Structure 1
């Protein structure tokens, strides 16, 4: 459909602007907005969402939206696309935490980054059978293993890079998690 409008870009619609006052429009079915959010946020930029002339980036954006529309129209196509791009809440939380491990993340901060309440975050994580603290610990321990394998520093430095205030607490948590101390792990990596 082609509409004459001066409306701004709306996240609940796939809009392909061709001129400042014209855009192509397809209403999203219920539940589709979550599926397209990761793609839209990955390719959209402020320039696409404003009234500017079409450039190479806009053509890429239009092409992507055109390709996605083929999945939406075919029976079962939407389900395939949704499975291919849907990121779980657990993965979203993990990605936020791993982006800055030195920061002391709270559930409220992470929930805010995901534009949801703390209770919604807890409910979604419970549905995925995981807790916030488990994701937080996994992010820290995965980073610790990575840093120790790379030889990115001594145990004290790795503890700090993984968000721990004291090396002794880091060592205790690492040993409880992996059943080996960081020092023993480093020794096995060197042999």
Structure 2
């Protein structure tokens, strides 16, 4: 499902958005969602478009350094920027749009490169966030933005501008619950932090647990071993790898 567009302006044109006239110059590069893209595609001869499906947006956002969310983020209908290598961008967009047989990983990286042109602009992640249809994924992205926070259903529902009951119902339709999403993210985060030099108490805090004993109990129930045991196992594995080398 196509959820957003990268649009390259080939010839100057004027359009109207929300009652405001806007003028776009040659070589302007735009990122827009499904709702706003019609304003630009009224001028098909003036633009080159790249359609980006939800799967690409999901994979882009799932990269750890790209998961960001802010209650105060500014919602924008589109983002406009400039790019110094227009000929290169045009060729990449054309090749991706023609759906030529390209290795999947290579194709994905090219899509990611096109999206990354806008990554420093305010409202970028929020625009991509709006493009995701899955409520469960939106909940996941919000929690991942601050895993140490003591998240409640109310916090998430407020961020998504919906009631708690509606949020629970939508998650139920996707056969998942808020508590399970929160637990999975916290435990995934904990497992990653196990290999760091942090203490169990520090890991517990970073995963949103005020009580270290409770964190240890939840960790053991989830993984079948305690955090300390996993640390020992990982340390032994690393030492054996070093010995082999």
Of the two structures, which has the highest relative contact order with CA contacts closer than 8 Å and spacing of 6 or more?
A: 2
Q: Which runs of 5+ in 2 are unaligned?
A: 1-12, 23-31, 45-52, 62-74, 100-130, 237-245
Q: CA deviation at 1:156?
A: 0.5
RMSD, matched Cα: 4.4
Shift of the 104–151 alpha-carbon distance from structure 1 to 2, 3 Å rule, reads same
Residue 56 of structure 1: SS of its match in structure 2? coil
Shift of the 48–122 alpha-carbon distance from structure 1 to 2, 3 Å rule, reads closer
Structure 2 counterparts to residues 136-155 of structure 1, below 5 A: 136-148=182-194, 150-155=195-200
Q: Which runs of 5+ in 1 are unaligned?
A: 18-22, 26-33, 72-84
Residue equivalent to 1:77 = none
**8 Å CA contact retained: 1:14, 1:65:** no
Q: CA deviation at 1:64?
A: 9.6
Residue 172 of structure 2: SS of its match in structure 1? helix
More helix by share: 1
How far apart, CA to CA, are the structure 2 residues paired with 1:111 and 1:152? 35
Scaled by the length of structure 1, the TM-score of the pair is 0.62
Structure 2 counterparts to residues 1-191 of structure 1, below 5 A: 5-8=15-18, 12-15=35-38, 24=43, 55-56=82-83, 88-148=134-194, 150-191=195-236
Q: CA deviation at 1:173?
A: 0.6
Q: CA deviation at 1:105?
A: 1.4
Aligned residue pairs, count: 159
**8 Å CA contact retained: 2:15, 2:39:** no
Q: CA deviation at 1:97?
A: 0.6
